[in-house]
Structure 1
Amino acid sequence: MDNRHLVPAAVLAAKNGVKFPNESEEYRIARDALLAEEIELRRHIERVARQRRALPPGGEVKKDYRFEGAAGPISFSELFADKDTLVVYSYMFGPERERPCPMCTSLLSAWDGEVPDIQQRVALAVVARSPIGKLLAFKKERGWHHLPLYSDLTDDYSRDYHAIGTGGSDEPAYNVFTRRDGTIRHFWGGEMGGVTADPGEDPRGAPDLMPLWTVIDTTPEGRAPDWYPKLSY
Structure 2
Amino acid sequence: MSTHENRHEVVSRSQWLAARRQLWLHEKAFTHHRDALAAARRALPWVKVEQPYRFQGPAGELSLTQLFAGRSQLLLYHFMFVEGWDEGCPGCSFLADHFDGANLHLAHHDVSLVAVSRAPYAEFQSFRQRMGWQFPWYSSAGSGFNEDFGVSVGSEGPRQYNYEPYAGSESELPGLSAFYRDDDGSVYHTYSTYARGLDILVNTYNFLDIAPLGRNEAGTMDWVRHHDRYEGQPGTAHCCHD
Instruction: Answer whether TM exceeds 0.5 for this pair.
Output: yes
Cα shift at 1:147: 0.7
> 1:170 — aligned with what?
172
**Mapped pair 1:183 → 2:178:** no
Assess if the C-alpha contact under 8 Å between 1:92 and 1:172 holds in 2.
yes
Say which SS state the counterpart of residue 175 (structure 1) adopts.
Answer: strand
Q: How many residues align structurally? A: 199
Q: How many Å apart are 1:29 and its aligned residue? A: 0.8
Structure 2 SS opposite 1:190 = strand
CA, structure 1 residues 133+23, in 2 after alignment: closer, same or farther (shift >3 Å)?
farther
Q: Given the alignment, which residue of 109, 128, 131 partners 2:120?
A: 131
Distance in 2 between residues matched to 1:50 and 1:112, nearest whole Å: 26
Which stretch of the first structure deviates more once superposed, 85-94 or 177-186?
177-186
The answer to whether the 8 A contact 1:64-1:77 is kept is: no
Residues 167-210 of structure 1: CA deviation (Å, up to 9, x unaligned): 1721101000112243211111115x4xxxxxxxxxx1176211
Moved over 6 A (4+): none
- C-alpha distance in 1 between matches for 2:214 and 2:103: 28
Query: What TM-score, normalized by structure 2, do the two folds share?
Result: 0.76
Which ranges of structure 1 fall in alignment gaps of 5 or more residues?
Answer: 1-21, 194-203
Cα distance in structure 2, aligned partners of 1:221 and 1:96:
38
Identity percentage of aligned residues: 30
RMSD: 1.9
CA distance in 2, matches of 1:91, 1:81: 19
Q: C-alpha separation between the residues in 2 aligned to 1:25 and 1:166? A: 57
> TM-score, normalised to structure 1's length?
0.79
Q: Pairwise mapping of residues 136-175 of structure 1 onto structure 2 (< 5 A)?
A: 136-144=125-133, 146-167=134-155, 169-175=171-177
Q: Is the 8 A contact 2:176 2:192 kept in 1?
A: yes
Please list every run of 5 or more consecutive structure 2 residues that lacks an aligned counterpart in the other structure: 1-10, 156-169, 231-242
